[in-house]
Structure 1
Amino acid sequence: MWPRSILALFLLFLLLAGGCSRIPRIIVLEDPLSAAEHVELGVAYETKGELDLARREYERALQKDRKFYRARLNLGNIFLSKKEYGKAREEYLLALGLRPGDAEATNNLSWAAIFSGEGIDEALARMESVVLGAGGRRPPLLDTLGVLRMRANRPREAEEAFALAETLCRQAGAAPREGVNGFAPCTEEVLREIEDHRRELRRRFP
């Protein structure tokens, strides 16, 4: 039996004799983009409707920074757009873990519940808390609250939310650029959604 030192030299000789070209090169690629830059790129893809590419960028951002709220929220929005409501809910809950009581994450979590029909009561409790908090009396948030109340079979309270949302929306639309009570001017799209939801409420509960 050969001594280990002689055996090692023999194996090294065979390796060198075989040619260095057979030795694989290990290349380590470094991602030059920051988490924020990946999110910006994701938003650009999302704006173009390229949801899979946007998702990839948000996931890359989260690989760099697991606590990046905007990447987490935007990833949830991608899942919501693709009707993957369970995954959207998971991302929104993680976003709320980073920013408890955040209005945007709570609103989007509510729509995941509305579209899926699951978790309505939990979403309603969260939205009630947001609307009662500072800055919560905004037309889109009140509209979401109205839809949740409607799904929870609380028509009178739903109508109250829709009516207030529509009133504030019309006031903001007629106000100067800064809006009313700190609200940005309400868009026609938001106003149409509120009106559509009020009509749906009347159909459901004549």
Structure 2
Amino acid sequence: MAGEVRLRPWRRGLPLLLALLLAGGCSRLPKIIVLEDPLTAAEHVELGVAYERKGELDLARREYERALRKDGKFFRARVNLGNIFLAKKEFGKAREEYLLALELRPGNAEATNNLSWAAIFSGRGVEEALARMESVVSGPPGGRQPIFLDTLGVLRMHANRPGEAEEAFALAETLCRQAGAAPREGVNDDAPCPEEVLREIEDHRGELRRRFPPTSPAPAN
């Protein structure tokens, strides 16, 4: 229409903004300050680890999420965030993070191991996790570590494969006891097996025997 004055979008909101400011007793426009996060993604992860060690899981989660906002392909942040969800028993979210981590590093032993425990604790996706873990321990020597073999044994136990579970536990215990001894083929002597890992293996073997008691041999005729 002739003579009509059209306000640009930013001008339309200006009178309302001024009215709100005047109503609040302020006649000056506010200064808009944009704060930039000074930390790198790696520094956020380091801070998250510090919080995690102190048991402050929510603060650790915040830092890992901030790291991922800066770098969505940061593998360590992805795995650590999954670990937080696992500790908080949010198994579905933990699984999602571990799967995203495995997209970044397919077949990674650590992410596969932790994904396995999300499956074990939740009772969901055990067969898938078992297939992934079988691939890890049958791959390079690094996968034949006692902690990974122990996880494999637990997965096999939950998949109702007691004989195969005992094989994994027995090998895990053997390698754990050999760690730090004279050099042997296939044994990483630079990484001694922590005592708590050996205790876990023994506990899981005990659980296996309780779940699947050994059958007594049939009496001879």
TM-score for both structures, normalised by structure 1: 0.88
Per-residue deviation, 1:173: 4.6
User: Residue 197 of structure 1 aligns with which residue?
Assistant: 204
Q: Which has the higher helix share?
A: 1
Q: Tell me, in whole angstroms, the C-alpha distance in 2 between the residues paired with 1:191 and 1:84.
A: 27
Structure 2 portions without partners, runs of 5+: 214-221
Q: Tell me, in whole angstroms, the C-alpha distance in 2 between the residues paired with 1:174 and 1:27.
A: 62
Equivalent of residue 155 in structure 2, options 148, 152, 164: 148
Equivalent of residue 62 in structure 1, options 62, 68, 72: 68
Cα gap change, 1:173/1:193 in structure 2, threshold over 3 Å: closer, same or farther?
farther
Q: Tell me which amino acid in the other structure corresponds to 2:59.
A: L
Q: Tell me which amino acid in the other structure corresponds to 2:60.
A: A
Kept in 2, the 8 Å contact 1:146–1:158? The answer is: yes
User: Residue 73 of structure 1 aligns with which residue?
Assistant: 79
User: Residue 118 of structure 1 aligns with which residue?
Assistant: 124
Q: Tell me, in whole angstroms, the C-alpha distance in 1 between the residues paired with 2:54 and 2:44.
A: 16
Deviating 4+ runs (over 3 angstroms): 1-5, 18-22, 173-176, 179-183
Cα gap change, 1:26/1:66 in structure 2, threshold over 3 Å: closer, same or farther?
same
User: Residue 104 of structure 1 aligns with which residue?
Assistant: 110
Per-residue deviation, 1:130: 0.3
Q: Tell me, in whole angstroms, the C-alpha distance in 2 between the residues paired with 1:204 and 1:72.
A: 35
User: Residue 85 of structure 1 aligns with which residue?
Assistant: 91
Per-residue deviation, 1:25: 1.9
Q: Tell me, in whole angstroms, the C-alpha distance in 2 between the residues paired with 1:104 and 1:151.
A: 20
User: Residue 36 of structure 2 aligns with which residue?
Assistant: 30
Kept in 2, the 8 Å contact 1:138–1:183? The answer is: no
Per-residue deviation, 1:4: 4.2
User: Residue 217 of structure 2 aligns with which residue?
Assistant: none
User: Residue 219 of structure 2 aligns with which residue?
Assistant: none
Kept in 2, the 8 Å contact 1:170–1:186? The answer is: yes
Per-residue deviation, 1:24: 2.2
Question: Between Structure 1 and Structure 2, how many residues are aligned?
Answer: 197
Q: Tell me which amino acid in the other structure corresponds to 1:199.
A: G
Q: Tell me which amino acid in the other structure corresponds to 1:116.
A: S
Identity score, percent: 83
User: Residue 133 of structure 2 aligns with which residue?
Assistant: 127
The superposition leaves residues 124-160 of structure 1 with CA deviations (integer Å, 9 ceiling, x where unpaired) of 0000000000021100000000000000000000000
Q: Tell me, in whole angstroms, the C-alpha distance in 2 between the residues paired with 1:77 and 1:124.
A: 19
Kept in 1, the 8 Å contact 2:179–2:189? The answer is: no
Indicate the RMSD between aligned Cα atoms, in angstroms.
2.4
Q: Tell me, in whole angstroms, the C-alpha distance in 2 between the residues paired with 1:182 and 1:69.
A: 27
Q: Tell me which amino acid in the other structure corresponds to 2:151.
A: T
TM-score for both structures, normalised by structure 2: 0.83
Per-residue deviation, 1:22: 3.6
Report SS of the residue matched to 2:179: helix
The superposition leaves residues 5-36 of structure 1 with CA deviations (integer Å, 9 ceiling, x where unpaired) of 9xx8xx99xx6xx6974412211010000000
Q: Tell me, in whole angstroms, the C-alpha distance in 1 between the residues paired with 2:188 and 2:63.
A: 37
Matched, 1:181 2:166: no
Q: Tell me, in whole angstroms, the C-alpha distance in 2 between the residues paired with 1:205 and 1:173.
A: 33
Q: Tell me, in whole angstroms, the C-alpha distance in 1 between the residues paired with 2:199 and 2:180.
A: 13
